Chains A and B, each alone.
Chain A
Amino acid sequence: MAETIALEVFRYRPEQEEEPTFQTYEVPLQKDWVVLDALNYIKDTLDGSLTFRWSCRMGVCGSCGMMVNGDPVLTCAAFLETYRPGPIRVEPLANFPVVRDLVIEMGGFISKLKRAKPWIIREEEKPLSEGEYVQSPEQLADFKQYSMCINCMLCYSACPVFGLEQDFSGPAVLALAQRYNLDSRDQGATERMNELSQDEGIWPCTLVGECSEVCPKQVDPAGAIQRYKLSSTQDWWKSLLMPWGAKSKVGDQG
């Protein structure tokens, strides 16, 4: 008799129940299986009604984030062996509304990404005839870490402030803003600062630090936010003490 492990899976079917329930399934405890494999086994052989998001199954798409035993993880990276003897509790990503079973509503997050103005902002575009923007490896290293975000939203599940304040821009959005602020080709730091140095921008963050702990891509959003607080504070004092020098580059068009 092959070894099995129990999965306690969060179920929510709004058309038939008011409150969520948990359903337990026994799945084979295969050495090389991850929680996502177990969920697909359930859907393929035990209960076709189970609903969840997944795609690449190799940790680059950011689709399969869920709470496993209370921690936000990518289910394609969470091996069943780690949770032996079980049972393994699988729930939808915390701090988001649940649409059905393990699927959360992420429209709010997607629309927040725009707050970071995630594109290169220039005072003046260089004409093509002048050639490309040259960037050294050192300049690339300045922002590369923050470009690795796969929008998996594990950091939002880990952030207690976001759990309490759904308007908070959050770790991924702020790391994304820094990815552009620190890009040598970008000149839009002031314009982004005006948007994000507001009360729903960087300031609700209290550096709990859990976002960086759970990030599967080592983006370190906590560090990005901390640096943003420093630069925002410097900017604030400069505009107070030297208002003449604060003529913003592109911010006036914001």
Chain B
Amino acid sequence: MSEPLLEARHLKRHFHLTGAWGKGPLLKAVDGVNFTLYEGETLGLVGESGCGKSTLARVILALLPPSQGEVWFAGENIFRLSSQRLKKLRRKMQIIFQDPYSSLNPRMTVGRILEEPYLIHGMGSRSERRNWTEELLTEVGLSAEHLDRYPHEFSGGQRQRIGIARALALRPRLIVADEPVSALDVSIQAQILNLLSQLQSKHHLTYLFISHDLSVISQVCTRVAVMYLGKIVNLAPRKVFDTGRLHPYTEALLKAVPLPDPERPFTPPALKGDPPSPVHVPEGCPFHPRCPEAQLPLCRDAVPEFRETAPDHWVSCHFR
């Protein structure tokens, strides 16, 4: 495998909920996450809503301070940088959002939106910037005539392309895509996924691809991390997902992927209930109350270690 680009170590992000009288309970959105992103790969991050995926994305981009832990990007601890160094580093890591309707400033033209990254970093003359923004638009499949329009004049898919163009503007090495296709129609999803993989090979990009949809993840990712209640419980190359002995939670998620086959017999959902609130994380293995294979008292009392059970395949389960 190639060089590590980003490394998260023991990363935690807790929130104090505010109660009526001062500080309320502690919400552990990200609770001890370790992973490495290698140059040029696409790491998928899956999990149910509320498991801390988006919080993790924001922490590793230094958009939220961590409660604990470190993130190393290209050899630098990003939480230890001066604000000027951090500003420089931001050119190398960008983000794409889920909702193409709230990710673009409604009061700026597309030209202004795409020019802004260059203005922030004091790059280029006015005409150079104009050229760059035109290039960006063609690169994502739009054209220069769109520069003077406002975001509300575009469709969801087009707006997502504009968001991608903005993320590309500073020629980053890492792009965190936070559910980039979840808000789009299936036909448009495929177009955007194709665009993302074209851009990846053209610019040698590294993606952290967040989704709750395993079928999307399996299309684009080289490795997959599964997150449950603020922790990564399973991390494996995508190939292993077809064959290997996975975490029971991952197996349940895979069974829940809908297949377009009306003849297939109905299978009852593998998991019962909703994930517990991240404010009251269960003792022991956090998954044990919903796990079909849980054995008491072991799973209730002992936190399973996050172990490498096969080459590159990490699981936290007592029975794998």
Query: Do these two chains really belong together in a complex?
Result: no
